[in-house]
Chain A
Amino acid sequence: MDLKVPKLPKIAIGWRKALIAAGVAAAALLLVFVGWTLFIDYTEERQVAVFGSHVAASEADLFLVSGKVSSHMRSRPEYPSVAESDAVMREFAAIAEYGRGVAAYHRQIVGADEVPEAYVEAQSAYIRALDHLNRAFSLWSSAAGAYDAKAYAAAGDHLAGADRAWKDYTAAIDEYDRELRIAEEGGEIPPA
């Protein structure tokens, strides 16, 4: 069998051209590396900024809730009539619904954020805090419902549960603050 193997053209390249080609390839790789690194850095910064803006929005809304709660608690009369007591509890129920709605909304927003690995624990703690707050407000709502049904003992039980949920909320905020410091400063920070 007579096979004809075509002749490959002879590559004639000098050392100089080979070095230039290698240099260009290296430069291209360097550019890709630098670009990728910048891209990743920027993405992480951006993720933290978005997370931060969502926490800020949540805190701004919670500040409004806090104002409403504080004003309500301050204005409770010491010796109310039955009608005044009922009006106070209706307002309490409305504030509970407001707080529950705010906590649930921001929990959904912050929970959907993608954050760099270093911030995962802080994000998780903040979400837990909002969950506990949501639960506390839900129990306020249940307490107001029980009061409306004249089941005062049940109302007291719901409020005791709400107090426990509230303590869990403040503990989660403490943990969030700690995790945030760890993420921003790096390394371990002893618990406060």
Chain B
Amino acid sequence: MEWKDIVPVIAGGLVILVVALVVKPALLGEPIASPGPAPATYLPPAPLPAATPFPEDGEAYTRTFRWTAIDGGVQTTTVQIPEALFLEHRETLRFADPLAWGRYALAEEDRPVLEALARRIAPAVGNPEEEYLRMMNVVFFVQQIPYEPDNSTGSYVEGALPRYARPVKDGIEYPRYPAETLVDGKGDCEDSAILLSGLLDALGYDTALLRYSDHMALGIRMEGFNPYYVKYTPKYFDYRGKHYYYVEGTNFYGGKVSADSPVIRGKPFPIGDTEDGALQSVRSETPKIIPLRSIPAPLEYRIRPARLPAGGA
């Protein structure tokens, strides 16, 4: 055997080495084709157009309210609600989920009416000790709005059930916007709670709706409310470390206005009193707390960095 016999063998070996070390890496080194479109990019949401304000010079409902304030004096005030606002509310579908009812209390279209009314009912006070009286004047105002259930046609200014009154197991459900309650001049427990929370929110108080199995009331956030003059232990409910004291928006066991009227008037009801009412649910249940200003949020949202394989980019 001579060199001419060995050379092809060596050349073959070299070809294998070149393929293994040069050609294959060159092929694999090329960019890998993507399996589809480019990776997702963040697309910010489009801004919504601003709502058109209701004309101030349009038709309006005028309502006069008379109530007993915390000092025992009888007060009177007049409220004007734009008719267009009221009619728009009446033609708005109601939310079936009570957790969303805080939206009624915070409805921005109703805000100017509520802010003006709250300032009239409870003018700003000079010292912090009077803040409680200020708050109670708002509470008393709403508690004295006559109670009338949702299934009563007399509860509505039109004398008929609104289009979006929802049939439920126990009758009819129609949570009202604050402006609707003011125009109707009546309402049931959730309407009073919504109006009261809207008014107190307009004054800067932190409130929540308290939902019982057959009732809705209000929770107002306070720290250490325990006045010396009350003969009960004020009841509060804890929500994420905040104390919301029970506030009744209605007082419907005070007696009927007249024998043939379904309208019931009641007496003012103090903050934190859950024992003096007629409802067993209020005395015994722990309500579902519905904060007005809650945005659903995940608890878990931190992305964990993963270690990269050695040799990775």
Which A residues are closer than 8 A to B by beta carbons? Answer: 17, 20-21, 24, 27-28, 31-32, 34-36, 38-39, 42-43, 45-46, 48-53, 55-57, 59, 61-66, 68-70, 73, 76, 78-83, 85-91, 93-95, 97-98, 100-102, 104-106, 108-109, 112, 119, 122, 126, 129, 133, 136, 140, 143, 147, 150-156, 159, 162-163, 166-167, 169-170, 173, 176-177, 180, 183-184
Contact = CB atoms under 8 A, between A and B. Distances in A.
B45 A93 contact: yes
Given A46-B25, A162-B298, A55 B309 contact: yes
B160 interface: no
Nearest to B303: A66
B244 to A, nearest CB: 15
Interface of B: 1, 5-6, 9-10, 12-13, 16-17, 19-21, 24-25, 28, 32, 34-37, 39-45, 48, 95-97, 99-100, 103, 106-108, 206, 293-313
B300 A166 contact: yes
B311 A52 contact: yes
A49 to B, nearest CB: 5
B8 to A, nearest CB: 10
Chain A: interface secondary structure? Answer: helix
A159 B106 CA distance: 24
B100 A53 contact: no
A163 B39 CA distance: 24
Contact of A61 (B32, B34, B39, B95): B39
In the A-B complex, the 9 residue pairs with the smallest Cβ-Cβ separation, listed nearest first, are A52-B312, A101-B40, A31-B13, A166-B300, A152-B99, A39-B20, A35-B16, A52-B309, A66-B303
A159 B296 contact: yes
A57 B313 contact: yes
A77 to B, nearest CB: 8
Given A42-B20, A167-B300, A105 B42 contact: no
A83 B35 contact: no
A21 to B, nearest CB: 6
A90 B45 contact: yes
Contacts of A79: 206, 293
Contacts of B42: 64, 68, 94-95, 98
A150 B95 contact: yes
Nearest to A178: B307
A152 B103 CA distance: 11
A43 B296 contact: no
Given A97-B40, A162-B300, A51 B1 contact: no
B306 A152 contact: no
10 contacts: A24-B1, A45-B311, A46-B25, A52-B309, A52-B310, A52-B311, A83-B108, A85-B295, A94-B43, A183-B309
Contact of B5 (A24, A39, A126): A24
A165 B36 CA distance: 25
Contacts of B13: 27-28, 31-32, 35
